[in-house]
Every structure is written in C-alpha cells, then in structure tokens.
Chain A
Amino acid sequence: MPQNEYIERHRKLHGKRLDHEERTRKKAAREGHKQSENAQNLRGLRAKLYAKQRHSQKIQMRKAIKQHEERNVKGAPAENEPSNPIPSYLLDRANPTSAKALSSQIKSKRAEKAARFSVPIPKVKGISEEELFKVVKTGKKINKKGWKRVVTKPTFVGPDFTRRPVKYERFIRPMGLRYKKANVTHPTLNVTVQLPILGVKKNPSNPLYTQLGVLSKGTIIEVNVSDLGMVTASGKIAWGRYAQITNNPENDGCLNAVLLV
C-alpha cells in the first residue's frame, strides 16, 4: 500500500506510459473473463474471500440497476399510505416523529451545556504516563537526552497533520498507530457503520491525552455521521456527532465506538 504520493509524483514528473490507455482498455476487457476464471477455479480460503467480495459488488450493482429502472419509468408516483395508522387530520403532514427528534436534540444540548455527558462508559481506568509514553533518547553518544516521548497507544491526528520539525518534536505519534475511521454503533437502531473521525473531544484520563489525540477506552470522539442521513428537527443535516470508544484499540487493532444520542 503506498504510504506517500510517490506514484502520483512520478506520473506528474514523467507522464504515463505510452501504451497506458491501451493497457487499461485491454485489462478492463479481460475483466469478465478474469472474474469467471476466479469464481470457478479458486479454492479454499481464497475462494471464500473472493466470493464475499463478489457478493457485495453484486449487491451494489443490483441497487444501481434498480435506480436506473426507476428513472426510466414516467408517471405519477404511487400514493403510498403512511406506514403507521394515523387519523385523517394527520395525513399529508410532516412526520410527527420529528417531535421526538427535537426533544432528544434539546436534551442532548442541555447535557452538553451542563458539561456532563451521560455516557455509556462513565468510569474508565486511567492510563498512566509511564504506560503511554516510551522514552526516546536523542543526541549523540555522551549528550544523549531523553526528553522525547513516543506514544504507544492509538491516536488520531487529523487530515492536515504535518509533523513539527524533527529536532523540536517532543511527542512522536507513530503513523502505524494512527486511526482515521471508527466502527460506530447506533445504540437504538443497532447498526454499525464505519465513520470517519473528526476529532477527539475528551480523553477521560488526562487533558494532555486529549490534546495529543490519544484513543483509549472511554474517550469521546466526534464522528462524521453524514452517511447515516440524520436530520435535525429544523431541517439541517446532522454531520457531526459524539461517540464513545468501547474497546481497547491497542489490543484489538480496530476502533469500536457507540454513538451518543
């Protein structure tokens, strides 16, 4: 996996191969044959992985086809009855459940203002600085100094993060321990979606960890929920919501969180 833009850089500097278009065209043409060859001839674990990948691809294809079909049909859209029985004076009106969304939005605003999160994991065992930081010595031979620290737990740095000049960098956050996405579960709808992280709001152990962006169990993070399509009662699309991390990402290698609604 490319860790930097050297491929794009080469392309910008030297251009593409002369037969690039032809090669891509031919590769695309071979696609169907390749897929059927794989589907028929792969065995064992590779077959299972391939089948799973193919299945999700087919689902997407079917959805796209259905949408295209709907586009072609012209005519009055079928009048559908609302799903829940409502009396005649509530027909043809906006969904009454927006009232509940409004009340829950007001309640969450109040909870924020009081600076008290009623979170799923209220108490968390704190991480000591010894455990989090590993001392890295710098300097030559006699003049070795140990003021640099490396963070040993997963962190979040943000999309436009650039390191301080290496000489002055005090905290090193290794690239391998950086996370951009979290598996967020909606508590009431019971769906888990992978959502990009927007930022770390609060780490319960130490405000320093919040600044560094350390992701540990119980940390409140802000995630981008525009994929979920939540709309506030005033009609605005909700795109940032808080979630709390529920696992120990340094042990699992993935980041699980539950959305705070």
Chain B
Amino acid sequence: MATVAPPPSKRQKREEIERTTVQQDVTPLLATDLGSFKANFIDGDGNQMADVIEINFADASEKNVSALLNTMMGRDREEFTPYRFRIHIPGKDVVVDQYPTDLLGLLKKHGVNNPFETTITLSAEPQAVFKVQAVSRMAHKISGHGQPILCCQFSPLSSSRLATGSGDNTARIWNVDTGTPEKTLSGHTGWVMSVNWRPDGQQIATCSMDKTVRIWDPATGKSISEFKGHAKWVLGLAWEPYHLWRDGTSRLVSCSKDGTARIWVVNTGRVEHVLSGHKSSITCVRWGGIGQIYTGSQDRTIRVWDSVKGTLVQSFTAHGHWINYIALSSDFALRTGYLDHSKEIPETEEAKRAKAKERFEKAVRINGKVAERFVSASDDFTMYLWDPTNNGNKPVARLLGHQNKVNQCTFSPDGTMIASAGWDNHTKLWNARDGKFLTTLRGHVGPVFQCAWSADSRLLVTGSRDCTLKVWNVLKGALARDLPGHEDEVYAVDWAPRDGAKVASGGKDKAVRTWMN
C-alpha cells in the first residue's frame, strides 16, 4: 500500500493555522503542483503498445495524450491517428469510457489517492482519420414515389446517387446533389421490399412482393434480368462480397417467406443452390466475407450455410421468438468492397479483389485472427453476439436491456460498437468485443425502426415512427441533432458510406428527404 505521510508536527500545524487566517486562497498553491502519473497504453486486444511513460496531470488532455502516443509509436505528424482512451482504474475492475476533463478528480473519486505511485492503464482505440460532420438540415425533399418508401440505400461509389424502393412497385434512383429524380426502375408487380447496390456500384438488385428478384443497370435504368423461383414474397437480398467472386460473375442470395433462400448466379440468371431447412419465413439474409451465408428466420433459429456447396454448416437456436435482423461485423467493409473514403480506385480486377479482401480482413481481425462475428436481434427483446469461428455454437454474449422487440442492430464501421434500435423507443450501444452494454440513447417517442452509422463511427442516425430522425454523438452518448421534417413514419434511413456527409431517409409520406450539414 502507499506510504502514509507522518502527521504534521506542532510547528507545521501552527503555520497552517496562521496561513488560513491570513491567506484566504490556499487552493492555487496546490493547483500548480498536481503531479504526474504513469500511463501504460494497451490496444483493443490487450497488448501493450508503448513503454510506460510519466505524464503531468496538467497536460493530460485527451488530445495531448493521443499526440503523445502517436509520437511514441514513431509516426510522423501527417500520419497521426486520433485515439480515444478508456481508463482502467488500478486496483479495481472499473473501466471509465469517457475521458474526463479532470483526470485527477476522477481518480480520486474512485478512491485512488496516490496516482503517482500506481500505473494507470489506458486502452487506446484508433478513431477514423477523417471526421464526418453531423447533418443538421434538410437539403432536399424529392417527391416522386406514389406510395410509402420501404427501403433506401446510397450507392457505394458516390454519395450523389441514392436508390429507394417503394410500395408503388418501382425503385427509383435519385441524384442527391441536385435533388432530382434520375431513373425510375419499373417492372415489378409488387411492392419493392429491398434495394441493394452491388459492392462496386455497377448494378442494383431489388426484391419484391411479387416473388421475383430483378437486377438493374443504374446508368440506363433498364432491367437486366429477372429471377423467378420463390413461392412467396421475397423479403431480403444480399450480394456476394467482392473478393469472393468466382468465374467472373457475381452471385446474389435472396430470402423469402416460403422459408427458403436461393443463391442466384447473376450473369446466367439461374439458381445455383436452394437453401431450405427453415420451417418458417426467413426475415434476414447476409453473405459473410468468409464465404458463409447467414439466415435468420421466424422459426427462432439462425442457420449458417456454405455458399459454394449450398449445405448447412451450423444452426444456432437460442432465441425465444422471431429473428428480426442479423448484422455482421464486416457489414460496412463488404457493402463498399474496394471503395473506401479515399478517392483512389485500383486499376486491375486483381487489385480490386485484393483491396476488398484486405479491407474485409482489417474489419474482422481480432487478436490477429480473422473472426467474423454477427449479432442477431429478435422479438424476444434480446440480442445475441455470436462468433462461429471461435466460439462455435455458443453465443459470445447475450445483450439484454431492451424492453420491447429489437428491430435492427448494426455494427459500427470500425467494428467497436453495436447499435440496436427497438420498439421501446430506445437505441442502445454495446461494446462489440464482449457485448457489454455501454449506453442508452433516449429521445424518440415512438418505436425506433432503423439506425445507420456514419463512416467514421462517431455519429449514429436513427429513424422512428414518431416522424423524426435523430443524430447522436456516440462518444458522448448524447443527442447531436434532431431532424424533424418528415410528415409520417420514417421507414428507412441510410448514411452515405464513402464520402459521408449525407443522410437519406424515406417513409410513409412518400417523399425522399436528404439531409446535409
């Protein structure tokens, strides 16, 4: 334990009394001599990043510490990555997520009276180098659809193109810069339930209540092919990740109310595999970066299939009610393929594949091992975090806390956090590594339907039935902007993934709204 200072002698006590009677302001005397502490930096996996170093309390602001760490890692000024720190209180098991302005005060509050003697561990999380501004105003309100808008997605190539699907049986492409409609993709005879851009942005796939899936060329607006085969409504789609393409063609998996998922070969239009086994409607399907397809269904199970052979690999039964949504930790990387926030596009096909693969692996690497995790949100008010490669059939963590059905969950683009939107009007944030609860974002007055992350993982936008969107600052856990403007329920939101200064939302009032800073 720390050595205790000897009690003050008679002379010292007398001097103290004199000082208090004469000198009113004693505190500045202490302020200059705050002392220093020893800091030990660890990264997300728990490995030490740099040597233990002594830092003055007076200089210990988060920015300064981040700059110090960068210098210790030997980086140049231009290569600095901003870090966020979480403080592990020595001697206790408490981890403080928010870096406080008064570090000494925080340590004293937790009972650490002599920080000079102990080493304080700071775990550093690298933040994205670019910073996305919070959107604050409605840029455009574009009407054109005749029925409520059911889904929307920005093109991975550029944020100036947006595709939306609606109940008027069409999907439309909008030019977001000018706020005008560009192309109308008509051909479906039922509501368009989901619209998905291919990871390289060259094609759009839509699935509809008329049991078909269609592929469109966004440049011309014409339908390239139509896939028929499902027996009931097609509810969801997923493209094959860019780095997994074989034979020069892309593949697509679609899930339907008839309980089957079908893998289509896009160029030929034929079904490659039919993944049947679920006993009830499949609500969500995802194609993972290691070649596995995840399907979640109303029969309370999640099945993992091998995409090459079309066979069942694993089945997870833990939920008590319907699975509403599955989110992969590599979702963001797979959605955009080889397109990242920098403006460079690789030249050759091989280079594109390699870059897409590298981005994917960077997103899912934990402790140096490629482990793709996913979280499933269900009607039984809980979510489970699964890690099939490491943990097999058992979930990593159970995310409890919602008081009503959980509608959607998403991983943040940097893979550190999970956001979940539920019917209890709350959005909750969880740590993606171990599934621990971080904070609740309260503010909506109606069920929150969808949430979308900004590309730098600092902001989250949520859309709800109460006709508003809210932008949250996840670092502070507080509301950044309130975006009213919709006249009716908001069904779909998306944040532009590449140059992310735009948010698009669509809902029951049939007009697409785009929001900018």
Contact = CB atoms under 8 A, between A and B. Distances in A.
A89 B405 CA distance: 11
B194 A89 contact: no
Interface in A89-148: 89, 91-92, 96, 99
Given A81-B209, A92-B281, A87 B150 contact: yes
Interface in A141-176: none
Contacts of A92: 281, 298
A85 B150 contact: yes
A88 interface: yes
A86 interface: yes
Interface string B178-196: 0000000000001101100
Interface in A33-89: 79, 81, 84-89
A89 B166 contact: no
Contacts of B151: 87
Contacts, number: 43
B373 interface: no
A86 B281 contact: no
Given A84-B167, A96-B465, A99-B465, A89 B191 contact: no
Given A81-B209, A99-B465, A89 B325 contact: yes
B515 interface: no
B324 A89 contact: yes
Interface in B425-466: 446, 449, 465
B218 interface: no
Contacts of A89: 283, 324-325, 407-408, 449
Interface residues of B, number: 29
B148 interface: yes
Contacts of A86: 148, 150, 167, 491
Interface residues of A, number: 12
A85 B324 contact: no
B81 interface: no
A165 B446 CA distance: 60
B236 interface: yes
A84, A86, A87, A92 pick with most chain B CB within 10 angstroms = A87
B255 to A, nearest CB: 10
Given A81-B209, A92-B281, A87 B193 contact: yes
Contacts of A87: 150-151, 193, 449, 491-492
B283 A85 contact: no
A91 B166 CA distance: 14
Contacts of B491: 86-87
B235 interface: yes
Interface in B132-177: 147-148, 150-151, 166-168
Contacts of B281: 92
A91 B407 CA distance: 12
A91 B489 CA distance: 15
Contacts of A85: 147-148, 150, 166-168, 191
Given A96-B465, A99-B465, A88 B193 contact: yes
B260 to A, nearest CB: 16
Given A81-B209, A99-B465, A88 B167 contact: no
A92 B151 CA distance: 18
Contacts of B236: 88
A91 B232 CA distance: 13
A91 B190 CA distance: 14
B181 to A, nearest CB: 19
Contacts of A91: 233, 235
Contacts of A96: 465, 489
Contacts of A79: 232
A97 to B, nearest CB: 11
A88 B148 contact: no
A85 B147 CA distance: 7
A88 B166 contact: no
Interface of B: 147-148, 150-151, 166-168, 190-191, 193-194, 209, 232-233, 235-236, 281, 283, 298, 324-325, 407-408, 446, 449, 465, 489, 491-492
6 contacts: A81-B191, A81-B209, A85-B168, A86-B150, A87-B151, A87-B492
Q: Top 8 A-B pairs ranked by shortest CB distance?
A: A85-B167, A87-B150, A88-B235, A87-B491, A85-B148, A85-B191, A85-B147, A88-B193
Given A81-B209, A85-B166, 18 more contacts: A79-B232, A81-B190, A81-B191, A84-B148, A85-B150, A85-B168, A86-B148, A86-B150, A86-B491, A87-B150, A87-B492, A88-B193, A88-B194, A88-B236, A89-B407, A89-B449, A96-B465, A96-B489
